[in-house]
């Protein structure tokens, strides 16, 4: 469990056992810090979606306590609870006979907000998720691509400004290119909005890419390991976690390890033709290596604001990656 003093979500001893004896989740302790994104990942049937649905009481727990902002969810009206939590699912669930703008404003309408307020907020949310309101507001869901529908689903979840967002395989139904684009877009939104997000995925790459922390579930609803992506990839606690994150976990660390100025070389002596582009100092080793490969050059320039800090070479990437494997704390999400 994360030792957060005042988490937005705290699950203590949470379990779900069905009448036929099936144990979906057992003895789960998990904290979700305010403003963080925690990914629940694991094989099919391991209880990650059940856990998500217990937070907003779409499924009732049979054991333990779930606190949301310090309040027991079981002591709250479930309908009011859900209206205060954003919820995004893989199938999106848009109403086919309502326009995009009306879909986005669903929760606000249920809360009794004035029609003008609902319309204004809906247009604002469409803009936020990268859909031009003048183009998309009055279209119907069937007139949108799968990726556009998913953006509308995110906009709807955010419209009532909930402090918590629950996402169940939100990008799983779109093709890989659109999926990567949606992941990038949501990461940008999260840096701006700092919602508390719990995201379910079966894809370890998505979990590592998206999460501030990752919780790996094993069969029977057991939490096998929880930690930062860097900790998970560098030090899996057992054979199951090691197998799940895969033999390429060293390479996956490229995506969670920021550029360290200690591994940069001086710009002196480097000609413009040698440069493989420019990356920001906050970029990951993966982004820097991609720039090198894309431009087929020996070095990539690194800058912070308008100041060039130095250049990163393939050897520098290698040394930085080895250092991060030895010490997960060097990776900073």
Domains of the chain: 9-253 (3.40.50.300), 257-330 (3.90.1280.20)
The percentage of the chain sitting over the pLDDT mark of 90, rounded to a whole number, equals 41
- Quick one: pLDDT band at residue 54, thresholds 50, 70, 90? very high
Question: Mean per-residue pLDDT for 327-333?
Answer: 56
Average of per-residue pLDDT across 95-116: 91
Can you tell me the mean pLDDT for 155-178? 85
Mean pLDDT, rounded, for 162-183: 83
Predicted local distance difference test score (pLDDT) of residue 315? 82
What does the pLDDT read at residue 77? 93
| Residue 128 pLDDT | 87
Inform me whether the pLDDT recorded for 270 exceeds 70: no
Checking if the pLDDT of 46 tops 70, the result is yes
Please check the confidence at residue 218 and state whether its pLDDT lies above 80.
yes
Look at residue 102 and tell me whether its pLDDT is greater than 90. Answer: yes
Least confident range of 5-14, 80-89, 179-188, 319-328 = 319-328
Q: What is the pLDDT of residues 232-247, one digit of tens each?
A: 887 889 999 988 887 5
Per-residue pLDDT at 291 exceeds 90: no
Report whether pLDDT(253) > 80: no
pLDDT at position 233: 82
281 close to 304: Cβ distance less than 8 angstroms: yes
What would the mean pLDDT of 203-230 be, rounded to a whole number? 90
The yes-or-no verdict on residue 16 having pLDDT over 90 is yes
Read off the DSSP letter of residue 54: H
Phi/psi at 193 (nearest 5 deg)? -90, -30
100-104 contacts, C-beta under 8 A, 24 or more apart: 100/126, 100/131, 100/136, 100/137, 100/138, 100/139, 100/140, 100/141, 100/144, 100/152, 101/126, 101/133, 101/137, 101/138, 103/141, 103/152, 103/156, 104/152, 104/155, 104/156, 104/159
pLDDT at 333 over 50: no
pLDDT at 31: 96
How big is the chain by its Cα radius of gyration, in Å? 22
CA-CA-CA-CA torsion sign (289, 178, 108, 8): negative
Q: Is 84 helix (H, G, I), strand (E, B) or coil?
A: coil
Question: What is the average pLDDT across 237-262?
Answer: 79
The token duo for 306 is 């308008």
Query: Higher model confidence: residue 217 or residue 276?
Result: 217
Q: Is residue 2 scored above 50 in pLDDT?
A: no
pLDDT confidence of residue 300: 85
Q: How many CB atoms lie within 10 A of CB 308?
A: 15
Strands (E), 242-312: 275-280, 299-304, 307-312
Q: Which two tokens stand for residue 304?
A: 């912070």
At 292-321, the pLDDT tens digits run 777 777 788 888 887 888 888 888 887 887
Q: Where are the beta strands (DSSP E) in the chain?
A: 9-17, 23-32, 37-41, 63-68, 71-72, 85-89, 164-168, 196-201, 213-218, 222-227, 275-280, 299-304, 307-312
Task: Say if residue 166 is exposed, middle or buried (CB neighbours under 10 Å; 0-12, 13-18, 19+).
Answer: buried
Residue 249 has pLDDT above 70, yes or no: no
Is 0.85 topped by the overall pTM? no
Top mean-pLDDT range of 13-17, 42-46, 109-113, 171-175: 13-17
């Amino acid at each position: 469990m994360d030792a957060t003093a005042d988490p937005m979500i705290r699950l203590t001893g949470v379990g779900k056992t069905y009448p036929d004896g099936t144990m979906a989740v057992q003895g789960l302790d998990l904290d979700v810090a305010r403003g963080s994104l925690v990914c629940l990942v694991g094989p099919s049937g391991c209880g990650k979606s059940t856990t998500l649905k217990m937070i907003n009481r779409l499924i009732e727990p049979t054991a333990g306590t779930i606190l949301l902002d310090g309040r027991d969810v079981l002591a709250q009206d479930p309908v009011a609870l859900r209206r205060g939590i954003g919820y995004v699912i893989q199938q999106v669930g848009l109403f086919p006979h309502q326009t995009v703008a009306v879909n986005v404003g669903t929760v606000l309408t249920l809360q009794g907000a004035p029609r003008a307020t609902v319309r204004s907020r809906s247009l604002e949310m469409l803009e936020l998720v990268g859909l031009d309101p003048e183009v998309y507001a009055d279209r119907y869901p069937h007139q949108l691509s799968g990726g556009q529908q998913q953006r509308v689903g995110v906009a709807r979840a955010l419209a009532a400004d909930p402090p918590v967002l629950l996402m169940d395989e939100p990008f799983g139904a779109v093709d890989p290119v659109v999926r990567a684009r949606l992941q990038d877009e949501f990461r940008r939104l999260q840096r701006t909005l700092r919602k508390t997000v719990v995201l379910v995925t079966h894809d370890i790459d998505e979990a590592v890419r998206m999460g501030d922390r990752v919780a790996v579930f094993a069969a029977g609803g057991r939490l096998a390991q929880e930690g930062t992506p860097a900790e998970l990839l560098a030090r899996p606690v057992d054979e199951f976690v090691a197998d799940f994150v895969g033999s390429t976990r060293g390479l996956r660390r490229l995506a969670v390890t920021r550029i360290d100025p200690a591994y940069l070389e001086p710009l002196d002596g480097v000609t413009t033709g040698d440069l493989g582009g420019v990356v920001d100092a906050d970029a990951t080793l993966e982004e820097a290596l991609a720039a090198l490969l894309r431009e087929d050059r020996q070095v990539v320039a690194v800058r912070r604001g308008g100041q060039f800090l130095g250049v990163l070479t393939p050897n520098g990437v290698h040394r930085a990656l080895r250092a991060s494997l030895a010490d997960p704390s060097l990776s900073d999400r």
